[in-house]
Structure 1
Amino acid sequence: MQDQRNEQQHRPTAGHLAGIGARSIPEFDGVHDVWPRGERLRAVREAAAAYKVRFKEQGQVRAVKSVDIAAAPYPVAYAFHGAVSVPTLPLISMINRMIVVQYDDFDGRPRTLVFEPTVPDGSAEAPFYRNLQKLMGRIPGGKLAERVVLKYYNEPGDVLSKVGLSSRDIDFCTFDHLHVQDPRMILGSSRIIDGESAPRRPLFADARMLVHSRELATLQSLHPMQWAWYVDGGLDGVDPDKLVAFDCDIELGPGIALLWTPGHTDGNHSLVINTPDGVWVSSENGISLDNWQPELSRIPGVRKYHRNFGREIVPNANTLEDSLDQYDSMVKEKTLADPCRRDPRWLQILPSTELAPWKRFWPVVPTYVHGGISYGRIKAGLR
């Protein structure tokens, strides 16, 4: 009964797109229902190509800026679906970025969105990282190894200061999925979180979280195969009106969309923005451009994986909730992204959590790194 009450408390009743100046994307209607799976991949690719034309014609975002948050350890075996073919350290580091986007919604209202505002203290409570910390504390040299793979740059609140914003400037926040994320750290909670002395206040004042309804439902009822990657109880005490749920591919305004890209998780979605240099895509379906473009990779084994299996992507494979869906979703992302101006061989895909280009992890280092994204000038007081 308690679980049923919890589910009702957090049911996404606030998820009305018109209320946030957004709308669904008709080009993708029904593509995830196409059968058999080879036909579905073709349908996804064709829908993405068709939508890209209209998406670019609608306009560009006002401004966008990314800032690094923290680097955390991650198993090499997950990062490239076991493709790496040489002995290497078992862990590499991934750098999480927070992206601030300013745009006009379809009602003409200026909006500010924060993508991936990870709070490291919350992520540390996911069972996978909690167990990894315990393991590092017990093994010889574990503390030294921890210093090798961990690095802290900025807290989300610090990022706002760096770009000249306050918490009250933020309309929306979102994550591509909720692995190792604790929504209470962002949205606040009426209940006291274990280890704290008072209810947590919202990080971004009255901002609301955009989340796919399937991702929200997953956090409400975890399967054992999902459990290690989510912060159980992450919705306890969260005001349900702070959640805006959606069930499909949506565009928030001219030049910005959240595309449903299932597979890595059921409710995974990708940020897509149009800029003066063309279309950029960001998600954690891969952790480096090598995942999306393995034919160009210099990481040992990745190009061979591509040739031997005839696959045009190598998934970030820590969960593989649906590997075929994740494949289709990464093709969807590749189709939307434009070539990079600096090197047209590479697509403008910015992993939301990216393989660190640190020599200490050689040869598992990214073949090409964009190094972040910045267009226009972020401005305070748009609301």
Structure 2
Amino acid sequence: MLVRLTCYSPSVIKSDGIIEGVEKSVAKLGYSPQLDGLRALAFFLVFSNHLKPLPEVGPIISPFWGFLQSLMGWGWMGVQIFFVLSGFLITSLLLQERADKSRIDLPAFFIKRALRIWPLYYLMILINFLILPLVLSHGSLGFGGPVWSAMCQTYLLPFLGFVGNFWMPTHDGVKLPLSLVILWSVCVEEQFYVFWGFTLARFKTFRALGLLLVGILTAAVLIRAGLYYLSRDNGAFYFHTLAQMDTLAVGAVIALLRHWGQLPAAAISRHGVLFFGLPVAYYAFLASAVPNVGTNHPSQILVFTGNAVFSGCLLLSLLYWRPASRWFSLPFFVLIGRHTYAMYLTHLFAFILAESWLGGRFHLLGDVGHWLLHTVLAALLTALFAFLSWHAMEKWFQRLRQSFIR
């Protein structure tokens, strides 16, 4: 059953948005299965971005094949969808807690976030810095080898402290396993939790929070521009938290407007097809006409803002347009969405294992058949890793988290 989300416009809101007597009048978010579906979409995009390049095909379908390859190349936008959704959910939960309890319990909030994020995150660090090097005991990649030593000296402490993303653009000469690179976005999320938790505890008016978010949106664009023109390298800002803050801020803006009853829910619902269709059209436009992030093109300075805005449009369509809400609430998407964290962190391992196991086998299938087999095997391994992660570790920490939810 879908969660009915209704926004109110309480008359008790004062012109300066003072919190007293206001937050009690707004709707609570509740569980929204379509948001799990949105997580699934974000993961599918990231997964497609890491697939092997499509093989050559005949001239009849070659144009479509090329466009599909370009769409896959833009799959990294799934990370921006994750950020927008995170900004929305974290802001909604903290504002709702303050409305219910007249305060935000920051220690409980940080503990809940740690119990959700830290176990699998630190397991991935253990695997990348210790277990894999022991398995690859020979050569430079093995335990004690020069590549392993340089990686530990450069990245171990930063990633342990959730700041490894700041080291990546300035130490790109030090080799990192792909399964460790993926942790950069978790670092950004963790930094956001700390900053935004203290910020919402300090800023208590609609106007103050709104002005702060506008400032963040503007600053992120300027920071990206500055980082790009100083280095002429998109990687300088791709991993940088401050250059990603407008994506998180868009989700927070939606949560803020919704919480204070300032979202035109009826209008969004009437024009839901537009809110849903614009992100799809934007994604297709990027794939067909805009240089991708790897080309070091200045257009990326504003592309990130576009990613944030249109991801926000997609989120709004899922919240208020019933057809999209129904589609993304299908059981398959909800199931995938509930396990995207483990799937996100482990899917690159799955690609590596699939490639290792297949090798030169099944060559009779042809290039396309081999590509499809590799993709299916990687998807199945990813699902297996998520299943094992949940039953061996995550569900126990989930139960522990429940003791902090009152």
TM-score range, shorter chain: under 0.3
Structure showing greater relative contact order (alpha-carbon pairs closer than 8 Å, 6 or more residues apart): 2
Larger helix proportion, structure 1 or 2? 2
Please, what TM-score do these two structures have when normalized by structure 2?
0.24
Please, what TM-score do these two structures have when normalized by structure 1?
0.25
Structure possessing the higher radius of gyration over alpha carbons: 2
Larger strand proportion, structure 1 or 2? 1
